[in-house]
Amino acid sequence: MNKAPYLIVITLLIVLVTNNNFVLDIRNLFAAGLSNVVSYVGSGSELKEEIVKLKIEKENLQARIFEITVNPNASQSKRRLLEAKVYSSYPLNTKSEITIAGGEDKGLKVDMPVVLESNILIGKIKQVFPDTSVVTTIFDPKFEISARIGVKEIDALFKGGVEPKVELIARDALVNSGEIVAAASSDFPYALKLGEVEIIEGSGGPFRSGLVKPSYTIGDLREVMVITDFETE
């Protein structure tokens, strides 16, 4: 039996193992792999934030398209927007109101609308302090405004709460799940998005009601826009 091939293989292994550069290369390769794993795990929160950001941008684009559809003459250039950071309420996670940076120092006033991006309604300013403001959100049970549903603009009353609702929908009105619910009160620019119809509930009376799925959660909010001035469109 020819032992030469085996002797050659054994010799090569001895050379490689005793070669410091080879050992260093193996260590470096392992360290690089471990670093990539740690980096991937560490970027999880950043990935989540990016997903939330993209979702909000998608929702806002959908809301903007809806606004143009139901109100072709709408012009966002007639609105003045002021960006404001949202203070954290963690771990309380209060949904009915948020506190934003900016108050009298920024010219903010009670009842100014507050939106996410430009077309998703969050609520309106409730109190103004020297450098902060408190905003009542659509999750407040006392928040009520006139609303319209879908491109047919079916009248309804939007009621806030942990699970927002639309009520007083005419029984013979055709409303489907997924249709946009938009603000129709003169206190706000027309057709700001409140959410989407999730479930329509029947009743024996002349009206129906339904649950509304908002486009965001309070925990998603990092920056909002205050509409400091707008023309009724």
Contact in structure between 201 and 189 (CB atoms under 8 Å):
no
Residue 75: the pLDDT is 74
Query: What pLDDT digit, counting tens, does each position of 80-114 carry?
Result: 999 999 999 888 878 999 999 999 999 999 999 99
- What percentage of the chain reaches a pLDDT higher than 90? 65
Residue 19: the pLDDT is 52
DSSP three-state, residue 33: helix
- Give the end-to-end CA distance of the chain in Å, rounded to a whole number: 96
Cα pseudo-dihedral 104, 99, 119, 62, rounded to 10: 160
**CA of 177: how far to CAs of 78, 80, 136, 197, 199, in Å?**
32, 33, 27, 5, 6
Contact in structure between 100 and 218 (CB atoms under 8 Å):
no
The CATH class given to the 144-213 domain equals mainly beta
Strands 223-229 and 113-116: antiparallel
Q: Is the pTM of the predicted complex or chain greater than 0.85?
A: no
- What percentage of the chain reaches a pLDDT higher than 70? 80
Residue 202: the pLDDT is 76
Residue 36: the pLDDT is 54
For the record, the structure tokens of 185 come out as 């009160």
Q: Band of the pLDDT at 169, cuts 50, 70, 90?
A: very high
pLDDT average, residue stretch 23-27: 47
Instruction: Tell me the pLDDT of the chain averaged across its residues.
Output: 85
Domain residue spans of the chain: 4-42, 144-213
pLDDT average, residue stretch 26-40: 49
Q: How far apart are CA 8 and CA 12, in angstroms?
A: 6
Query: What pLDDT digit, counting tens, does each position of 75-85 carry?
Result: 776 789 999 99
pLDDT average, residue stretch 34-55: 68
Query: What pLDDT digit, counting tens, does each position of 105-152 carry?
Result: 999 999 999 999 999 999 999 999 999 999 999 999 999 999 999 999
Contact in structure between 215 and 116 (CB atoms under 8 Å):
yes
